[in-house]
């Protein structure tokens, strides 16, 4: 089957278009910015400065393009002014507090950033005079997780045990509220705004250096020739390479820009066979690296994290003709290959992987 996430189709959709990305300094935001730049889009980013010097945003700066606004998504005045000045045709909203374990330390701030920040963005959308398509990126963790062997669909109940998951479920409600109240599809000819939310599984890929993330922990241990400490080795997650959901986002937004039938929520994740345990992920990373070992680093006193989470991606496959292109083993290898690169090659290698993905 020919991929619909190919360079010719995506270039036709985005070349010359004004695209705003919130959270462009983050892991997924940087990959998306570079991809859109490669497609010929006019990109403007809005985000906080990176927390660490070592991050994909900094190492890919030689290839960065467009305007970068360093500001807080909670600053409604600044955000509204930047959106009004840019008049984007597409918005990808990725700015967030994205870490489960950190949300236990800063619960109120997590809700402020993820929920109020999204409301600020959608209120500011009213300052865009013409046609604009918006994708709000949430998470696979928005569902009321029953810790059972089921694949969650977009129609399942929202919930959230931890503050991060709950804040993202609330974000989904914010999107639905603004769609109903201000950007209703029935009155589209008047406002010309189309909204969708996207829920991706656990994303891996080169350039993630965040604290308490499995791949950065694995790579750090492998480089030091130390055993990888694996939290919750039996926990199952829908692992996928970062380019998989980003390709889905680009495809969905391009379709929604032309057809309101695509307004709504979509899951993007791997095939069921590629839902792996944390232990299996570590073992595949060791195999891709060529050496290493792991040991159980579980802490019985640690904060709660889900042990079983799986996504049903049938809607994206049927309605968008989107399909995962990489197996779990391939996703891990692409990720490990990135971390093997010297810093001076990171930017070009990132673009090479983007272009390679579009040929699959």
Question: With 80 as the cut, is the pLDDT of residue 62 above it?
Answer: no
Higher pLDDT, 65 or 295: 295
CATH number of 7-357: 3.40.50.720
pLDDT the model gives residue 18: 98
Q: Using DSSP, state whether 93 is helix, strand or coil.
A: strand
Please report the sign of the dihedral spanned by the C-alpha atoms of residue 101, residue 164, residue 135, residue 144.
positive
What does the pLDDT read at residue 1? 45
Structure tokens that stand for 251 in this block: 């495809």
Q: Looking at 200-209, 220-229, 297-306, 350-359, which range is the least confident one?
A: 297-306
User: Mean of the pLDDT values across residues 83-107?
Assistant: 96
pLDDT band at 231 (very low <50, low <70, confident <90, very high): confident
Domain extent listing, the chain: 7-357
Strands 276-277 and 236-237 turn out to be antiparallel
- Structure confidence at residue 298 (pLDDT): 76
Band (pLDDT 50/70/90 cuts) for residue 147 is: confident
Residue pair 99/210 in contact (Cβ under 8 Å)? The answer is yes
Residue 12 CB-half CA count within 13 A: 8
Backbone CA torsion sign across 86, 90, 93, 94: negative
263, 192 contact by CB (below 8 A) = no
Q: Determine which helix (DSSP H) or strand (DSSP E) holds 264, and give its type and residue range.
A: strand 264-268
Q: Of residues 356 and 301, which shows the higher confidence score?
A: 356
Taking the alpha carbons at both ends of the chain, their separation in whole angstroms is: 10
Can you name the residues that pair with 295 across neighbouring β-strands?
229
CB 10 within 8 A of CB 358: yes
Section 25-51 average pLDDT: 95
For 273-287, how does the pLDDT look when each residue is reduced to its tens digit (9 = 90+)? 898 899 999 999 999
Measured over the CA atoms of residue 19, residue 338, residue 99 and residue 265, the dihedral's sign is positive
What's the sign of the alpha-carbon dihedral 151, 152, 155, 157? Answer: positive
The pLDDT, as a whole number, for residue 47 is: 97
Q: Is the dihedral of CA 251, 253, 259, 265 positive or negative?
A: positive
């Amino acid at each position: 089957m020919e991929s619909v996430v190919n360079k010719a189709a995506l270039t036709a959709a985005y070349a010359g278009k004004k695209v705003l990305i919130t959270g462009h300094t983050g892991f997924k935001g940087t990959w998306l910015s570079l991809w859109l730049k490669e497609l010929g889009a006019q990109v403007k980013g809005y985000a906080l400065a990176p927390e660490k010097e070592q991050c994909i945003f900094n190492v890919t700066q030689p290839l960065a393009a467009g305007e970068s606004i360093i500001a807080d998504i909670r600053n409604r005045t600044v955000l509204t002014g930047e959106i009004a000045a840019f008049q984007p045709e597409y918005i990808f909203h990725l700015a967030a507090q994205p870490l489960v374990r950190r949300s236990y330390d800063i619960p109120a701030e997590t809700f402020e950033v993820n929920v109020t920040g999204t409301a600020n963005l959608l209120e500011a959308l009213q300052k865009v005079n013409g046609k604009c398509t918006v994708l709000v990126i949430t998470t696979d963790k928005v569902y009321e997780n029953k810790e059972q062997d089921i694949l969650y669909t977009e129609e399942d109940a929202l919930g959230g045990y931890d503050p991060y998951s709950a804040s993202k479920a609330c974000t989904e409600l914010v999107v639905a509220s603004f769609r109903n109240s201000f950007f209703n599809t029935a009155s589209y000819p008047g406002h010309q705004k189309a909204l969708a939310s996207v829920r991706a599984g656990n994303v891996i890929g080169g350039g993630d250096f965040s604290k308490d993330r499995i791949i950065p922990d694995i790579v750090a241990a492998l480089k030091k020739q130390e055993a990888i400490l694996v939290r919750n080795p039996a926990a199952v997650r829908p692992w996928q390479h970062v380019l998989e959901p980003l390709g889905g986002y680009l495809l969905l937004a391009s379709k929604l820009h032309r057809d309101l039938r695509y307004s709504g929520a979509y899951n993007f994740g791997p095939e069921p066979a590629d839902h792996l345990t944390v232990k299996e992920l570590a073992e595949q990373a060791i195999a891709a690296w060529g050496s290493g070992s792991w040991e159980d680093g579980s802490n019985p006193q640690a904060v709660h994290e889900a042990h079983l989470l799986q996504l049903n991606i049938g809607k994206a496959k049927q309605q968008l003709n989107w399909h995962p292109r990489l197996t779990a083993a391939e996703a891990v290898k692409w990720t490990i290959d990135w971390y093997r690169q010297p810093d001076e090659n990171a930017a070009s290698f990132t673009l090479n992987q983007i272009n390679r993905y579009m040929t699959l």
